[in-house]
Amino acid sequence: METTNVEKMATELANVICELSHTCIEKQNEFAALYNLTPAEYKTLKLFGDKTTLSVKEICSTLELTPGRITHIVTALEAKKYVTRKIDQTDKRNVIVHLTNTCIPIMRALSASFTKVSENLLSNASAKNKEAIINSAEEILKAIKAWSHEVKK
């Protein structure tokens, strides 16, 4: 009897996680469209966070895309004047991608928009529930990362 209840809850959680993932992707695509970005360009720019430079190697590793695909994305971002590429002076084999001054305010706006969505999510919850929501989301993320790591082995 207990197993059936756990299975039922696990199924419900799986459905919620899938729907949450889908909804987050839709929201990211909406934000990307506001700045004429493709989803791949948006994901690439989001990697920068507070940094203004990243190596192509770092981008490839994080997004798990080929160097050729990253070159295509970065070329499109260069055409939009959002990034520039420079050869690493300490190791000529590496290419460093730099955010332009045009892109930095866009990055701030995207970050602020995503923060606003999170504020809206929490706005109707009690203080106790806000903590529970954040803790639960962190636990789910940790579990998914651990599971993903196991699958890759």
Give how many domains the chain has, as a whole number: 1
The per-residue pLDDT for range 75-104, each reduced to its tens digit, is 999 999 999 999 989 988 899 999 999 999
What letter does residue 88 receive in the DSSP assignment?
-
Q: How confident is the model at residue 11 (pLDDT cuts 50, 70, 90)?
A: very high
- 3-state secondary structure (DSSP) of residue 137: helix
pLDDT exceeds cutoff 70 at 20:
yes
CATH number at residue 80: 1.10.10.10
- How confident is the model at residue 144, as a pLDDT? 87
Is 133 domain-assigned? Answer: no
Range of the domain at 100: 2-122
Q: 69 or 17: whose pLDDT is higher?
A: 69
Sign of the torsion formed by the C-alpha atoms of 9, 15, 18 and 19: negative
Residue 140 lies in a domain: no
Does the pLDDT value for residue 153 go beyond 70? Answer: no
- Contact indicator for 127, 69 with CB cutoff of 8 Å: no
Q: Does any domain span residue 149?
A: no
pLDDT above 60 (res 10): yes
Residue 96 pairs with which residues in a beta bridge? Answer: 55, 86
Rg (C-alpha) for the chain, rounded Å, is 19
Q: pTM (2 decimals)? A: 0.80
State the alpha helices, DSSP H only, in the chain. Answer: 2-34, 39-48, 56-63, 67-79, 103-122, 127-152
User: Does residue 136 form part of some domain?
Assistant: no
pLDDT tens figures, 56-72: 999 999 999 999 999 99
